[in-house]
Structure 1
């Protein structure tokens, strides 16, 4: 037994070093994350989260961008942002998301996880779960409550076999169309999460006790809010709160 101790000790040190060096980046180094979102001013003009106050609306989307980047950076997985990829501003949504995904895959990555900036309920754990799922599956999807998706994870091989540009992007039929397109592939489905596209969605998050508290972390958003915005919020909260068990988080 005495002569085995050095060997056992060596094995223990080797295994310990192996565990220490297995960071998320090492585990998922063939994976990339793509944050696909419109340019800030365009996003704010198309989605109204702060009625009658464009400055506050823009600030909220800026905060959403910050929050999304923070979640992706903590994964230690390489992150690409669609606005940095020189996409065609006149192209359709489908053309641009297809071009963005192709650009990232062309950099040599085998797997890709595409997310937006409008789902504050998305956690780092969802992203890492998707990255791990792609080791054994062709694709992984996170459905939202509008018939769309908040996360799309793909292997390059699966992506090459599907006409992504032809999918009904920005419609309630997107998720079902994706499932049909991948019917012969091995896929995994993540938890269904609520995204934010309108002011009512923002109130819905509050009513359902989701993590709209992210707004409170960026108090600069609220210094722009007008009395008309707050009065609108009051009426919307009263309207939506009746549909849910718990009271809203915000006390307007």
Structure 2
């Protein structure tokens, strides 16, 4: 190779080494104040008139905290990064219908996102959108069957099942929904985002809960720990202190 050809090859090599796109970073954090999050289907179930479930007194060996019915965070609490310019995925989001419930229970998507419900149960399901305005009417899904649906526009849509009253889910169409993730049982989460400014917000039962948390994602490092926790409910201790605070003397 001549000196001239070697010199000409250098810019090409540099071009191959320089990244051509913006690299995303993984933001890690945790959610707190989840104690009041509970799917309303459980209140429906414990009504004796519903003839649904029998709630028995736990054994004496069960710790007091474990006797309290709580929400299942990995399925029911959606954490959404909000920013301008959100676009739907090119492929449908798959939602499993199994055991009389959906995975996930609350889904937050940008406009135009296709959703595919898949029946993983050995029995049929007939899911539908409750208001009738979502364009998703009752339709039987046989075992291993599926139905696809694209919500017509921004708003909240509730999904129920004609055959399984315990199935209750929500789809929220939010124009700023860039990306959604679900925490683990401990409330820990990780979300991959491109550098920029976002708000992270929790959604439960189809509604925003707690406080929106502003975050800035920087180009580096690849993993970035969020300084503050995401609050999805009121501070319990502060609320108790307010209740116990003695009334002020009148002037």
Do these two structures clear the TM 0.5 threshold for a shared fold by scoring above it?
A: no
Bigger strand fraction: 2
Normalised TM-score (structure 2): 0.27
Normalised TM-score (structure 1): 0.27
Bigger helix fraction: 1
Pair member with larger Rg? 2
Higher relative contact order (CA 8 A, sep 6+): 2
